[in-house]
Structure 1
Amino acid sequence: MGPAVSGSFADSYLGKLRAVIGSRPVLMPGARVIVEDSAGRILLIRRGDMKLWGWPAGSGEIGQSIEDTARQELLEEAGLTAHRLVPVGFSSHPVDDRILYPNGDVLHAFAMIFHCTEWAGEPQADGHESLDVRWFAQDALPEDRTLAVSRTLGALQRYKATGGAFQLI
């Protein structure tokens, strides 16, 4: 795995970049992880920044692969260690992947979407990036969720329906 990250936004690559560019829009590679249990439920986190339900996800760090990013975010935000991550899609829509944070920062996410059905640990919020972690039936998602939840879940469903065709959303 890539370099250890302190957990402090200010110490992260994006945090250091923000110190230079302020809230201006920035293109940022990152990862989203769809954790699905044997009953077909998905794991969502209540995000600390927006207070909405979303995927375990985050931006990459210097010296880190996109898979390392996915593993790190899943561990930090949901308390799970991924045994196997399968890339199922990539999300980079110029409107739908534009994120306006409560502090005014703007980010255009370029996110690799991973599917995880094998992991260790029990879901647990970190109290900062994630305030809660819960399982949801795919047909009973919380209304107070990020736009990325439905779009990303749709990509997984199309991936499965097509026999594993990688999805660009």
Structure 2
Amino acid sequence: MSFADSYLGRLRQLVGSRLVLVPGARIVIEREDGCILLHKRTDFDRWGLPGGSAEEGENIETIIIREVAEETGLAVRDVKPFAFGSDPRYETFEFPNGDRTQFFALIFYTRSFAGDAAVMDDESSAVGWFAPDALPDMLSNMARSVEAYLRFKKTGEFQMI
């Protein structure tokens, strides 16, 4: 689906680049060796977790399953929430085209997936597996999401970030 055809794309046609509050999801996909899947975003030329915004009629799990497939080609299963990202200091972005967005993201994790990760859309320029202690240059909200995941693994406590 092209951005123009998406719910957010159609909304942008009505409101222009004004700040829009957007629900969505992102996910930490962890391999058996502990490495985490990231994709390099074409909009900011930085790394981030797979994820995206809601489309009409989707529930939150459907969002993350669809986004992972669209961005990486992986089929994820057994997705579990561990955090919620809503701090406007980290979740508010101005995109290169001037659009302003504040995200409200339920953050999932999974260790259950099928397929081989690959660039599947024009939102990504690369995908790769990274050790949590050797992450590349990431968007701040994405780095905070990984940090929250590591805290969750130690404490079992849901993270509000």
TM-score per shorter chain, which class?
Answer: over 0.9
C-alpha distance in structure 2 between counterparts of 1:105 and 1:87, whole Å = 28
Question: Aligned equivalents of 2:59 and 2:101: distance in 1?
Answer: 20
Pairing 1:33–2:44 present: no
3-state secondary structure, aligned to 2:69: helix
Structure 2: runs of 5+ lacking an equivalent: none
Tell me how many residue pairs correspond in the alignment.
Answer: 161
Partner of 1:165: 157
Q: TM-score, structure 1 length as denominator?
A: 0.93
Matches within 5 A, 1:107-118: 107-118=101-112
Residue 70 (structure 1) aligned to one of 44, 55, 64: 64
Structure 1: tracts of 5 or more residues without a match: 1-6
TM-score (normalised: structure 2): 0.97
For residues 130-169 of structure 1, what are the structure 2 equivalents within 5 Å?
130-143=124-137, 145-162=138-155, 164-169=156-161
SS in structure 1 of the partner of residue 11 of structure 2: helix
The separation in 1 between residues aligned to 2:42 and 2:120, in whole angstroms, is 9
The Cα shift of 1:141 comes to 0.7
Q: Percent identity?
A: 45
Contact 2:70 2:121 in 1 (8 A): no
Task: Identify the structure with the greater helix proportion.
Answer: 2
Question: Aligned equivalents of 1:138 and 1:157: distance in 2?
Answer: 8
Structure 1 stretches of at least 4 aligned residues deviating more than 2 Å after TM superposition: none
| Structure 2 counterpart SS, 1:95 | helix
Q: 2:118 aligns with which of 124, 137, 141?
A: 124
**What is the CA RMSD across the aligned residues, in angstroms?**
0.9
Give the partner amino acid of 2:73. G
The structural deviation recorded for 1:149 is 2.4
